[in-house]
Chain A
Amino acid sequence: MYRARNDYDKNYNFLGDIYADYKITDKLNIKTVVAGGFNILNRREFVAVNPEAKESRDNATLTEGDVTQYNWSWTNTLNYRNTWGKHSVNALAGIEAIEERGKEKQLQEVRT
């Protein structure tokens, strides 16, 4: 536990979205939404030698790694609403693109 005191696993997470809504007529509006998020992970793990153990390690190992993930989506929708008499219609047409991407690396150094 003492030897692992400088180890860490850090996770930073950001996300958000922004939208614009335009009323073309009373019954028709168009909306566009862009949303995205980041996830950044950093880790460090130190494995020290342990001469007191009965099957001890000869080498200390340091591992550091990071992962970056991001995702975005872009949604465009056209919404039509109308009511006449007893009839009511609500129609939506849309187009959407989503991407998720991840990149990762991990490095290890062994010391004798």
Chain B
Amino acid sequence: MNEDPNFTLLSNGIANPVVTEAFDGSTTLFSIFGTANYDYNGKYFLTATLRNDKSSRFIGDNQSQTFPSVSGGWEISKEDFFNTEGFVNRLKLRLSYGELGNQTLPIRNPAQNGFFQSQEFADYAFNGRSINDGVILTQVGNPDLKWETSKSINFGVDFAFLDSRLNGFIEYFNIETKDLIVRDNNAVSLTAIDAGAPFVNFGTVVNKGVDFQLSWNDQIGEDFSYSISGNLSTVKNEVTEFKAPLKGNSDGIRKGQVTRTEEGDEISYFYGRDVIGLTPEGRFIYRDVNGDGVTDTPDRTKIGSPHPDFTYGTNINANYKNFDISFFFQGTQGNDIWNYNKIFTDYGFFFNGNRSTRTLDARSPSNPNGSFVALSATSQNNEDEPNSSYVEDGSYFRLRNLTIGYTLPKSTLESVGVASLRFYFTGTNLFTLTKYEGFDPEVIPIDNLTLGLDRQINPLSRIITFGANFKF
């Protein structure tokens, strides 16, 4: 009977059921906004917006904030002096400035301390004999928390050449995020107390870069038409103001945090010891960063960046008679990933678990030229602590989508009363080219201070679909 859930109701059993979790909460947002567009003869454009948002996540005067934005455009190719029949068919300049707020956080009341009464964590015998239940702090509040504000400046040019077959845009952006909201993991001890670290407005981050897109559309003969478009983005990230160097969230991360954020560098870079080789016995040799002759904790340094040099995507579409095909490729270049799973498969910390195939070439007396760190049954030489052997190149190139379709000719369909019929095949995530050895180079970080940390996410599925699309 203990095995059969059909007999088991919450009211059965010896003890009363225990409420293991209960929760009730809400968030609200109240906004007033106004926006005006002005257009002179399709040549000059002006848009101004003003909005005020009031969020329940903050308290007092910090609840509401006003965000203005303004943008202008000049369609140069609509001017009389512009010859649209020439080499350049379209030219437009765009310029904008805008402020936007962010209040989206994983908790509802970051301004207040959170408590709960707990038999499990907070018992105290005041008189030395009988035990009293106490209350513990679960979340440290910050009454001064306010909106995170992004100020962005964009400047762009839209263009079209060669009878409008080649078109695209290039855009420069500079986004300054002030009062960045992060968890201040320095404010609580991460091992001794169960309270969540407070959310604070900790600094300013600047992202600047260029977006570039080009598309080519053409037709060859009656039956064949195609289009190719590609886009490329570069972003340079810099923390321009930060109250103190901060580690990333270490929830579930053994051997400590692997990312660090400080003023003057990128947000969330990888931090640890730099492995420069192996001793004859197969132990790591660390770089002596401060040159004092011993390699110890102060020798930790920047050992990688989760920020790509550029990201890109390509769409290819083609139609030939009744067939159509489309590809969507996508990728990143030059970013690093922290392959945290190596702590389970490569080092002494979990020596009795499954090993990765990398350990086959471990250096040992019988394999003195092995390329991999020697196997050990315990943690040796701090080898499982954050170091550069976890950092891998995270660049990838992926065929995200492929669709092939065939539409039946109208003449064959009319006789059976079908307006149109298309058969298609779609494949999602068909292949990925990457040197990354973890599950999936598209990692999902815990928060914005743990970018590039791969901690065992489910890899993207490969989905193959065959379908038919009827219209009557």
A interface, CB within 8 angstroms of B: 3, 5-7, 46, 48-49, 60, 62-65, 86-112
Contacts and interface: CB of A to CB of B under 8 A. Distances in A.
Contacts of A86: 40-41
Nearest 4 A/B pairs, CB to CB: A101-B26, A86-B41, A46-B5, A106-B21
Given A97-B29, A99-B26, A101-B25, A91 B10 contact: no
B24 A48 contact: no
Contacts of B12: 109, 111
B39 interface: yes
B29 A98 contact: yes
Contacts of B26: 99-102
A97 B36 CA distance: 21
Contacts of A87: 38-41
B36 A89 contact: yes
Interface string B1-28: 0110110111111110111111111111
Contact of A107 (B5, B20, B40): B20
24 contacts: A60-B3, A62-B5, A62-B9, A63-B20, A86-B40, A89-B37, A90-B39, A92-B35, A93-B33, A94-B33, A96-B30, A97-B31, A99-B26, A101-B24, A101-B25, A103-B24, A104-B24, A108-B20, A109-B8, A109-B12, A109-B15, A110-B13, A111-B2, A111-B8
Contacts of A90: 36-37, 39
B417 interface: no
Given A64-B10, A100-B26, A107 B2 contact: no
Contacts of B291: none
A60 B8 contact: yes
A15 B29 CA distance: 19
A108 B8 CA distance: 11
A49 B17 contact: no
Contacts of A64: 10
B34 interface: yes
A110 B13 CA distance: 7
Nearest to B35: A92
Contacts of B10: 62, 64, 107, 109
Given A95-B32, A96-B33, A102-B23, A112 B14 contact: yes
Contacts of A95: 31-33
Contacts of A5: 5
Contact of A110 (B3, B9, B15): B15
Nearest to A78: B34
B27 A99 contact: yes
Nearest to B30: A97
Nearest to A85: B41
A97 B15 CA distance: 46
Nearest to A47: B5
Contacts of B17: 107-109
A107 to B, nearest CB: 5
Nearest to B2: A60
Contacts of A93: 33-35
A96 to B, nearest CB: 5
Contacts of B18: 107-110
A42 to B, nearest CB: 13
A100 B22 contact: no
Contacts of A110: 13, 15, 18
A111 B14 CA distance: 6
Contact of B22 (A6, A60, A97, A106): A106
Nearest to A80: B36
A86 to B, nearest CB: 4
B3 A109 contact: no
Contacts of B19: 105-108
A95 to B, nearest CB: 5
B38 A89 contact: yes
Contacts of A102: 23-26
Given A49-B2, A62-B8, A86-B40, 11 more contacts: A7-B5, A48-B3, A60-B8, A62-B5, A88-B40, A89-B39, A90-B36, A91-B36, A94-B32, A107-B17, A107-B20
Nearest to A105: B22
B209 to A, nearest CB: 31
A111 B19 CA distance: 15
Contacts of A103: 23-24
Contacts of B15: 109-110
